[in-house]
């Protein structure tokens, strides 16, 4: 078990390293740096101004060196700019051009310094913490709606395969899974939030939900994400339930005269939930995917929205931070799903 | 204030303008713009033409207090001189004030300057600093503050300083800084500017958003962090892309309460809803905001339909489809040839673009970037429209089979206008495609696109945009236009303070721009915004400014 965990963590670090290097390389391509300079300085900067802007702020160094500085294995740059100001990676603009005695020379991820977001003008660590918290809130409610809903639909549909209940519930779940968030979200806003349709039950914008989530402003984003995942999990639960219901021991129980509700709840349910558990855990990475669309659509400023802003504005260090967090979320949920699977199904062993 | 003005001599040209107004040669708006830029107060200017100044601010029925929530982009703060978005100016306008304020009716009003006088040759400006103004940290505001800020504007070594290009007459070309003796502090309340060349746009430039007045303790970076200004509000917090908050500075006595009235609000929140107007609508419908920064395109009608109140202003804001005359495409420079440019411009009927691209909400423009509401506009007739002749002309060049590519931003009306331009050129039998780029890609290289659409904001004077955008080698010249003849005409125009005399030169300027096929400029936009019906004094401003001290809720 320990060896298994160790191997998983090693994979996680290696993946994070590879992914961040790719992101780093792409965001440091010359046109992207030019865009960055123009965003930060002025959209009408000349080529010379762009060059000196990049030079003065350490962007003109070789790629591997910059990456090593971000990681924290190489000392941060100190560059005397052409405008006379000396800037350093770790200590910002220097008053009199020299580093203070006690100044740090290494400041990278390994030192716990996630860098500075050029778009938001704030530390990457604190931005990600705030935004992840907001997405956490969204995810929590999505899970609260999605998981029980999906399991109930799946179990109801799977316990009598081929019945009318099964057919209708399966149809519903296939429709919700087949409708991507960017379609269902727009349809929801049009139907439930716009004057055009006249219902106006909910708000088409979730901006105020960041501070104060209410039934009105949070329902649509939660339902948009939840419905998409719900159909999929329900389908998995149904399949697994249907399979369990045809097993020998269920027939035996029926022949012994156990009542149908008892069979479903006491005999079938636990075995039927093994497969959905894995699927639910694997939904987390998919949810990250969904929040990118939904947060942008409903203008809810969480992790997905941050990712869009960071990518759209070529905010190098923020994008790297977002990537690292995403890698960890994906791999940790997989790890939990593997370990949980072992506990639910004693026939499987990880080592 | 009006008393002090009446004792001063009126600029001779102001009287001329008044006569022209009475003779019907000028409309009221033009008259006001011209007269007030010569140092005549708005009240005095109205007096010259026998009218009394309309009471703009409805002060009687404004409620004191309240939190106003405004939908607007929230951009990162920077040194005011490098401001490149009107939104940034608005975020700091509550505490960083301006020397001059450009008003909705086209006139200029002194804010931190009480009044100003311009010499007849437009080379000497005397600025009278408003007495009794203090910074919100208690320091008195004096002529030295004004001189320091103007000297800062002249620093052409600063990256992204857009003020230096507008202060050319004060700058020593060798050092790139303010010339010795150019900015003279006469006494505690008087500053004199001695220009090396006549410049009639100085006052108008001092009202533009990069000219915010900062305290001496400010040395670059985020002005929210410094927070010292003369205005009635104080910055509280800013989260870029999310929200910025300012609050009434209760411990600071604002000079304007006596002079202008206000401020009325306790707190103002600027909330970012991205660039998609559908999100702004959603915010309006769900009651998350009280006022929109701007309403655009089809959303104007939709916002009317949900019961929000519309305000409108006619402006010289526009969309220019400009050719870059220096950009190389596959080893050739397609738009270096004048005939190619003129031929394409002849294929486009500007009225069609206005109808299809902007729902007819504006005025047809004439391909020379001077608007009828500008003081020295000369009517040289509509832009020629003759697709057949244009096609024949294009066939005579080396680029008859060239595939043109028009690039526009992915923004409702800019995209639609671009599509209408493309369709008309294609109808004339020319190979052309239309590429729509999202903002994140567009702004990267936009100045070098061979053929693309650029939005321009309204500026009060005719010469302002032209000198920024079309003179050889200017910072904002993305058409790559370099014509010594045009530069000479502009130098001429910039030295004539009297708009009536300048008009003859402007006619030549306009004709040159059109004959050289510098741009296809389809229309002038009217601008709109909407509020929920309770907001007072928040009418759309031609330069997108929020005069926050005036804003309030209806009682």
- To the nearest whole Å, the CA of B515 is away from the closest chain A CA by 27
Lowest model confidence (mean pLDDT) among A100-109, A287-296, B357-366, B538-547: A100-109
CA–CA gap between residue A71 and residue A324 (Å, rounded): 12
Shared domain for B32 and B124, answered yes or no, is no
Contacts of A133 in chain B (CB under 8 A): none
Instruction: For residue B409, say if its preceding peptide bond is cis, omega within 30 degrees of 0.
Output: no
Last residue of a domain, one of B211, B236, B255: B211
Q: Do B282 and A203 touch (CB under 8 A)?
A: yes
Q: What is the pLDDT of residue B6?
A: 37
Shared domain for B138 and B239, answered yes or no, is no
Q: What is the pLDDT of residue B304?
A: 92
Mean pLDDT taken over chain A: 86
Full residue range of the structural domain in which residue B191 is found: 98-211
Check if the beta carbon of residue A150 is closer than 8 Å to that of residue A233: yes
The whole-number average pLDDT for the span A228-247 is 90
Which residues make Cβ contacts (< 8 Å) with residue B387, sequence separation at least 6?
A: B346, B347, B424, B427, B428
Q: Among all chains, which residue has been given the structure tokens 């220019």? A: B320
Residues of chain B short of pLDDT 70, as ranges, are 1-10, 12, 24-25, 43, 50-60
CA–CA gap between residue B266 and residue B65 (Å, rounded): 5
Exposure letters B450-467 (e unless 16+ CB within 10 A, then b): bbbbbebbbbbbbbbbbb
Q: Report yes or no: B446 at the A interface, CB cutoff 8 Å.
A: yes
Residue A45 has pLDDT above 80, yes or no: no
Check if the beta carbon of residue B197 is closer than 8 Å to that of residue B168: yes
List the beta bridge partners of residue B185.
Answer: B191
Q: What is the pLDDT of residue B10?
A: 66
Task: Determine phi and psi for B35, rounding to 5 degrees.
Answer: -65, -45
Q: What is the pLDDT of residue A351?
A: 53
Question: How confident is the model over A3-29, as pLDDT tens digits?
Answer: 888 888 888 889 889 989 999 999 899
Give the CA distances from residue B292 to residues A190, B362, B410, B554, in Å, rounded to whole numbers and listed in that order. Answer: 21, 20, 20, 17
Last residue of a domain, one of B191, B211, B231: B211
| CATH number of domain containing B302 | 3.40.190.10
Shared domain for B161 and B253, answered yes or no, is no
Residue A65's SS3 state is helix
Identify the closest residue of chain A to B445 by CA–CA distance. Answer: A35
Question: How confident is the model over A204-213, as pLDDT tens digits?
Answer: 888 888 888 8
Nearest to B159 by CA among A344, A223, A60, A57: A57
Helix or strand holding residue B323 (H, E): strand B309-323
ipTM over 0.90: no
Task: Determine phi and psi for A191, rounding to 5 degrees.
Answer: -80, -45
Identify the closest residue of chain A to B157 by CA–CA distance. Answer: A83
Residue A17's SS3 state is helix
Shared domain for B273 and B142, answered yes or no, is no
Shared domain for B132 and B275, answered yes or no, is no
Identify the closest residue of chain A to B161 by CA–CA distance. Answer: A42
Size of interface A-B (CB pairs under 8 A): 98
CA–CA gap between residue B406 and residue B482 (Å, rounded): 22
Q: What is the pLDDT of residue A97?
A: 65
CA–CA gap between residue A204 and residue A206 (Å, rounded): 7
Rounded to two decimals, the pTM is 0.79
Check if the beta carbon of residue A302 is closer than 8 Å to that of residue A134: yes
Shared domain for B464 and B511, answered yes or no, is yes
Which residues make Cβ contacts (< 8 Å) with residue B83, sequence separation at least 6?
A: B89, B162, B209, B210, B212
| CATH number of domain containing B170 | 3.90.76.10
| CATH number of domain containing B330 | 3.10.105.10
List the beta bridge partners of residue B292.
Answer: B71
Between B484-493 and B499-515, two packed helices, what is the crossing angle to 10 degrees?
160
Structural domain total, chain B: 4
Last residue of a domain, one of B211, B239, B274: B211
What is the DSSP code (8-state) at residue B188?
T
- To the nearest whole Å, the CA of B288 is away from the closest chain A CA by 7
CA–CA gap between residue B123 and residue B192 (Å, rounded): 10
- Which residues, numbered 31 to 90 in chain B, qualify as contacts with chain A under a Cβ-Cβ cut-off of 8 Å? 76-77, 82, 84
Shared domain for B407 and B442, answered yes or no, is yes
Other CB atoms within 10 Å distance of the CB of residue B252: 19
Interface test with A, best of B156, B165, B242 (most A CBs within 10 A): B242
**In angstroms, how far is the first alpha carbon of chain B from the final one?**
29
Exposure letters A172-201 (e unless 16+ CB within 10 A, then b): bbeebbebebeebbeebbeebbbeeeeebe
What is the DSSP code (8-state) at residue B453?
E
A350 vs B545, more confident: B545
Nearest to B241 among A119, A195, A208 (CB): A119
Residue A343 has pLDDT above 90, yes or no: no
Identify the closest residue of chain B to A56 by CA–CA distance. Answer: B159
Q: Report yes or no: A189 at the B interface, CB cutoff 8 Å.
A: yes
Burial class (CB in 10 A: 0-12, 13-18, 19+), A289: middle
Q: What is the pLDDT of residue B5?
A: 37
Check if the beta carbon of residue B166 is closer than 8 Å to that of residue B157: no
Question: How confident is the model over B35-94, as pLDDT tens digits?
Answer: 777 777 776 777 777 666 654 545 568 889 999 999 999 998 989 998 888 999 999 999
Share of chain A above pLDDT 70, in %: 97
Shared domain for B87 and B110, answered yes or no, is no
Shared domain for B247 and B345, answered yes or no, is no
Shared domain for B333 and B454, answered yes or no, is yes
Q: What is the pLDDT of residue B464?
A: 83
CA–CA gap between residue A96 and residue A86 (Å, rounded): 8
Q: Do B286 and A35 touch (CB under 8 A)?
A: no
Q: Do A208 and B288 touch (CB under 8 A)?
A: yes
Nearest to A150 by CA among A161, A158, A140: A158
CA–CA gap between residue B257 and residue A220 (Å, rounded): 45
Identify the closest residue of chain A to B284 by CA–CA distance. Answer: A205
Q: Do A313 and B159 touch (CB under 8 A)?
A: no
Q: What is the pLDDT of residue A67?
A: 92
Q: Report yes or no: B160 at the A interface, CB cutoff 8 Å.
A: yes
Shared domain for B46 and B154, answered yes or no, is no
Shared domain for B319 and B185, answered yes or no, is no
């Amino acid at each position: 078990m320990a060896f298994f965990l160790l191997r998983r963590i090693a994979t996680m670090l290696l993946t994070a390293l590879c992914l961040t290097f790719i992101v780093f390389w792409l965001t440091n391509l010359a046109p992207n740096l030019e865009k960055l300079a123009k965003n930060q300085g002025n959209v009408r900067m000349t080529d010379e101004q762009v060059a000196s802007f990049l030079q003065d702020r350490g962007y003109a160094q070789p790629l591997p060196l910059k990456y090593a500085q971000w990681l924290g294995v190489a000392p941060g740059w100190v560059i005397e700019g052409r405008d006379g100001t000396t800037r350093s990676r770790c200590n910002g603009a220097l008053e009199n051009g020299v580093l203070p005695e006690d100044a740090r020379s290494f400041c990278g991820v390994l030192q716990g310094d996630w860098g500075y977001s050029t778009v938001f003008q704030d530390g990457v660590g604190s931005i990600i913490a705030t935004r992840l918290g907001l997405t956490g809130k969204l995810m929590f409610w999505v899970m609260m709606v999605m998981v029980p809903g999906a399991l109930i639909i799946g179990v109801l549909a799977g316990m009598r395969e081929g019945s009318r209940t099964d057919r209708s519930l399966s149809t519903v779940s296939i429709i919700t899974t087949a409708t991507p968030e960017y379609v269902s979200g727009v349809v929801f806003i049009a139907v439930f939030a716009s004057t055009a349709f006249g219902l106006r039950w909910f708000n088409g914008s979730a901006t105020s939900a960041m501070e104060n989530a209410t039934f009105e402003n949070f329902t649509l984003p939660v339902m948009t994400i939840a419905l998409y995942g719900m159909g999929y999990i329900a389908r998995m639960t149904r399949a697994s339930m249907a399979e369990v219901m045809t097993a020998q021991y269920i027939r035996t129980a029926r022949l012994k005269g156990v009542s149908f509700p008892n069979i479903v709840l006491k005999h079938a349910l636990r075995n039927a939930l093994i497969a959905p558990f894995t699927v639910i855990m694997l939904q987390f990475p998919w949810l990250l995917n969904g929040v990118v669309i939904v947060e942008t659509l409903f203008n809810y400023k969480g992790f997905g929205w941050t990712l869009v802003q960071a990518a759209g504005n070529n905010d190098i260090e923020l994008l790297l931070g977002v990537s690292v967090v995403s890698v960890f979320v994906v791999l940790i949920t997989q790890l939990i799903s593997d370990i949980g699977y072992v506990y639910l199904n004693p026939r499987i062993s990880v080592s | 204030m009006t008393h002090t003005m009446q004792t001063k001599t009126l600029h001779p040209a102001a009287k001329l303008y008044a006569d022209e107004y009475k003779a019907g040669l000028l409309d009221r708006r033009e008259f006001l713009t011209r007269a007030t830029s010569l140092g005549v107060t708005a009240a005095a200017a109205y007096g010259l033409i026998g009218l009394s100044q309309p009471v703009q601010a409805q002060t009687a029925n404004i409620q004191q207090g309240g939190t106003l929530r405004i939908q607007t982009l929230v951009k990162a703060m920077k040194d005011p001189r490098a401001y490149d978005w009107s939104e940034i100016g608005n975020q700091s306008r509550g505490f960083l004030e301006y020397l001059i304020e450009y008003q909705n009716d086209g006139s200029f009003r002194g804010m931190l300057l009480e009044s100003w006088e311009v010499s007849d040759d437009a080379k000497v400006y005397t600025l009278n600093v408003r007495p009794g103004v203090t910074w919100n940290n208690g320091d008195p505001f004096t002529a030295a503050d004004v001189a320091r800020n103007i000297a800062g504007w002249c620093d052409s070594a600063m990256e992204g300083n857009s003020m230096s290009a507008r202060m050319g007459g004060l700058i020593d070309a060798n050092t790139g800084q303010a010339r010795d003796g150019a900015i003279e502090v006469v006494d505690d309340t008087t500053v004199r500017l001695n220009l090396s060349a006549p410049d009639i746009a100085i006052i108008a430039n001092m009202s533009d958003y990069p000219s915010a007045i900062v305290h001496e303790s400010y040395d670059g970076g985020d002005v929210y962090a410094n927070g010292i200004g003369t205005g009635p509000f104080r910055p509280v917090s800013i989260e870029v892309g999310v929200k910025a908050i300012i609050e009434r500075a209760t411990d600071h006595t604002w000079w304007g309460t006596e002079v202008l009235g206000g401020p009325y609000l306790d707190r103002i929140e600027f909330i970012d809803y991205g660039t998609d107007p559908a999100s702004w609508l959603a915010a309006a419908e769900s009651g998350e905001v009280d006022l929109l920064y701007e309403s655009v395109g089809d959303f104007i009608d939709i916002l009317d339909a949900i019961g929000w109140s519309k305000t409108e202003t006619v402006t010289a804001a526009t969309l220019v489809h400009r050719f870059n005359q220096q950009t190389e495409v596959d080893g050739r420079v397609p738009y270096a040839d004048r005939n190619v440019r003129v031929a394409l411009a002849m294929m486009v009927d500007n009225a069609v673009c206005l109808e299809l691209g902007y729902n007819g909400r504006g005025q047809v423009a004439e391909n020379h970037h001077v608007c009828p509401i500008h003081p020295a506009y000369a009517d040289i007739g509509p832009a020629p429209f003759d697709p057949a002749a244009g096609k024949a002309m294009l066939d005579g060049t080396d680029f008859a089979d060239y595939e043109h590519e028009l690039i526009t931003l992915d923004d409702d009306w800019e995209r639609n206008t671009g599509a209408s331009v493309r369709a008309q050129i294609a109808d004339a039998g020319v190979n052309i495609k239309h590429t729509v780029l999202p903002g994140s890609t567009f702004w990267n290289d936009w100045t070098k696109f061979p053929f693309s659409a650029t939005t321009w904001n309204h500026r009060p004077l005719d010469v302002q945009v032209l000198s920024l955008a079309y003179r050889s080698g200017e910072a904002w010249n993305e058409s790559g236009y370099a014509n010594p003849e045009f530069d000479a005409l502009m130098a001429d125009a910039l030295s004539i303070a009297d708009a009536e005399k300048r008009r003859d030169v402007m006619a030549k300027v306009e004709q040159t721009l059109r004959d050289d096929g510098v741009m296809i400029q389809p229309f002038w936009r009217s601008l709109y915004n909407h509020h929920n019906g309770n907001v007072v004094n928040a009418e759309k401003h031609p330069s997108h400014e929020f005069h926050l001290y005036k804003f309030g809720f209806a009682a």
